[in-house]
Structure 1
C-alpha cells in the first residue's frame, strides 16, 4: 500500500524501514517530490518486471513460430538437428 508523508516525517523515519514498506511518496508543500521504497520491495518489483519481459518474449517467439508454420516455413526435426550440427562446426 502506497502512502504519502512530508519530507520532515520521512527524515525522522529513515531509521525504520517498516515505515516505507509498500512505497511512500514524500511531499514538499503538498507536491510529490520523491518515492521511497524498501530494498526488498524494489527487488520484488524488478523480479516481477523481468518475469513479465520473459513471458512477453516467449509469446513473441510463439507468434513468430505460428506465422512460420502458416507460411509453410517449418522444418522437420531431422532438418533442425542437421542445421544445428552444421552451425557447431
Structure 2
C-alpha cells in the first residue's frame, strides 16, 4: 500500500519561523534550509501521527506474515502436533 506523496517544498529558516503559526504552510512536509542546504524537515503533527500509525500497521502485517511463513515451514518439515494436544498445552499454560 504505497501512498502517493506530495512534492516537498523548501523554505528558509526565516520564512519557517514566520510561518510557525500556520500549519497549512507545512502541509506535505517542508525542508527548512540554511544557506541553501536542507537542515530540518517540518510537517504537521497530524501527518506525523498518521505516518507513524501506517508504519505500525505495516510492522504488524510483516510480523503476521513471518508467523505464517514459520508455521508453513513447520508443516513442511512435519513439525506439527494434533489440535487436541495443542489445546491441552494451552490449558496447562494458563494454570
Which TM class, normalised by the smaller chain length? over 0.9
User: CA-atom RMSD, angstroms?
Assistant: 0.7
1:47 to 53, 62, 72: 53
SS of corresponding position for 2:73 = helix
Name the residue aligned to 2:25: 19
TM-score scaled by structure 1? 0.96
User: How many residue pairs were aligned?
Assistant: 89
Ranges in structure 2 where 5+ consecutive residues have no aligned partner = 1-5
The ranges of structure 1 where at least 4 consecutive aligned residues each deviate by more than 4 angstroms after the TM superposition are none
Worse-superposed segment, 35-44 or 71-80: 71-80
**What's 2:93 paired with?**
87
Whether 2:9 is the aligned partner of 1:3: answer: yes
Partner Cα separation in structure 1 for residue 27 and residue 75 of structure 2: 48
> Is residue 42 of structure 2 the alignment partner of residue 36 of structure 1?
yes
